Amino acid sequence: MSLRIMHVSTRLILGGSQENPLLSCEGQADDGHAVSLVFGPIYGPEGSLLERAEAHGGIRTILCPSMVRELAPARDARCLRELRRIIRDWKPDVVHTHSSKAGILGRMAAWSLGVPAVIHTIHGLAFHPYQARWRNRIYVAAERFAAKRCHRILCVADAMRDQALAEGIGRPEQYEAVWSGMDTAAFLDCPTTREEIRRELGFGPDDFVVGQVSRLAELKGHDDVLDAIGRDVGRDHSMRLLWVGDGWWRERLLQRASDLGIAGRIVTTGLVPPDRIPHLHRAMDVLVHASYREGLPRVVTQGMLSGVPVVAHDVDGTREVCIDRETGRLIRPGDTDGLRRAILDVRDDPAAAAAMAARGRELCRERFDARRMVDHLDRVYREVLDAR
């Protein structure tokens, strides 16, 4: 039986928590379901997935003009009215919300209209130690309220469930982990060779390339990498940095690199389409993900699928795939000395790093396949609908 499935996401920018619902939409549309994707305005240097969504042909894209990421009471009230109108007009069997703002308002709107299945996925929690306590209190209260207005809460990592339950959000029986799927074949079978992509980017055969794939933005850890190995990069001309992505902090970070005297040792790609990422992984000797907050970072999983050794901050669900000294290296956030040692260990012991990367690749090969995610979501939706 085909379903009418509506996904609601705050922003449709380039990023893991946005690619997840888009992949779900693509898979569900291919399976013959009627699928719509509701999102807020897209702006800024972070890129957009809208063109890809529209190109599919089986996905109805719907702009919700008042959907914004920031706390904005007046616009949020308008957004709730807009979502109610969109849901009432489209008449979905399932409303599946993603991210905090869309998750809170989307669940409120869908529940008030009696949508048969209201589902929410936690990609990352809006409350965290790096913002004001008053803001955290608002988000926790809102998430508690919204959890009472949905049938299931899905998580990309067990850590998300544990953190939410610790704050009194939802009931244990509401939660279920659904691994965040991706096009694993693109990373496992990328046709570009290491030599080709490194030559294109201007890296020599003996360069040791430290890569980061993320927005150039707050809490993404570029400063930590500069603090950890900036001096090493300045002293050792075989060490290079590769920054994949763009963001509001681009100029500030490049100025920091210039102040350290290593601006010429960094290759920046700017925004790249998602299908370019597997090729860029091929250029790296180590992928560093020094973010301070994540659900379960797709960048880490994608690096492992590409066979690249991974060094990552031990935050949220990262340890569920990056197992220290087995499939990667985990570093306490803010421990720049530990970050430096882990990166240099990869450089100085390539055999151990390669073995670690091979174990990571096997762990991720089946777990994160997009088809597996779409099938899992279908089971969840039908369980909820059958229980009514």
- Write the CA distances from 244 to 210, 272, 307, 329, 336, integer angstroms: 11, 8, 18, 21, 21
Indicate the range of 53-57, 88-92, 292-296 predicted with least confidence. 292-296
Give the DSSP H or E segment for 241.
Answer: strand 239-244
Contact predicate 68/41, CB 8 Å:
yes
328 and 322 in contact (C-beta within 8 Å)? yes
Q: For the segment 236-254, what is each residue's pLDDT rounded down to a tens digit? A: 989 999 999 998 899 999 9
Same domain, 133 and 149: yes
Predicted pLDDT at 80: 97
Q: From the CB of residue 234, how many other CB atoms can be counted at a distance below 10 Å?
A: 14
Q: How far apart are CA 375 and CA 312, in angstroms?
A: 30
Determine the average pLDDT of the residues in 45-57: 85
Residue the block writes with tokens 């669940």: 107
- Tell me: do 237 and 88 sit in the same domain: no
Which amino acid, one-letter code, is at 41? P
What is the pairing mode between strands 266-268 and 239-244? parallel
Question: What band does 53 get if pLDDT is binned at 50, 70 and 90?
Answer: very high
Are both 153 and 257 inside the same structural domain? no
Domain that includes residue 314, residue range: 184-367
**Domain total in the chain:** 2
Cβ-proximal residues to 315 (8 Å cutoff; 6+ apart), any chain: 291, 292, 293, 294, 333
Q: What share of the chain is helix, strand, coil (3-state, %, to 5)?
A: 50, 15, 35
**pLDDT band at residue 45, thresholds of 50, 70 and 90?**
low
pLDDT of residue 316: 87
Question: Could you report the per-residue pLDDT of 195-233, keeping only the tens digit for each?
Answer: 999 999 999 999 999 999 998 988 899 999 999 999 999
Q: Is the domain of 112 the same as that of 214? A: no
Same domain flag for 208 and 69:
no
Kindly report, residue by residue over 315-344, the tens digit of the pLDDT: 988 999 999 999 999 999 999 999 999 999
How far is residue 60's CA from residue 35's CA, in Å, rounded to a whole number? 6
Shared-domain flag, residues 229 and 150: no
Is it the case that residue 261 has pLDDT exceeding 90? yes
Write the CATH number for 356.
Answer: 3.40.50.2000
Same domain, 331 and 189: yes
State the Cα angle at 164 between 294 and 174, rounded to 5°. Answer: 115
Instruction: Give the pTM.
Output: 0.84
Say what the pLDDT of residue 223 is.
Answer: 96
Residue 269: pLDDT band (50, 70, 90) is very high
Radius of gyration of the chain measured on its C-alpha atoms? 21
Check residue 388 and give its pLDDT: 82
pLDDT at 279 over 70: yes
Cα first-last separation, the chain = 16
Query: What pLDDT was estimated at residue 70?
Result: 80
Res 16 pLDDT > 80: no
Residue 13 has pLDDT above 80, yes or no: no
My answer on whether 244 and 307 are in the same domain is yes
Q: State pLDDT tens for residues 124-154.
A: 888 877 788 998 999 999 999 999 999 999 9
With contact defined as beta carbons under 8 Å apart, do 58 and 34 qualify?
A: no
Whether 44 shows a pLDDT value over 80: the answer reads no
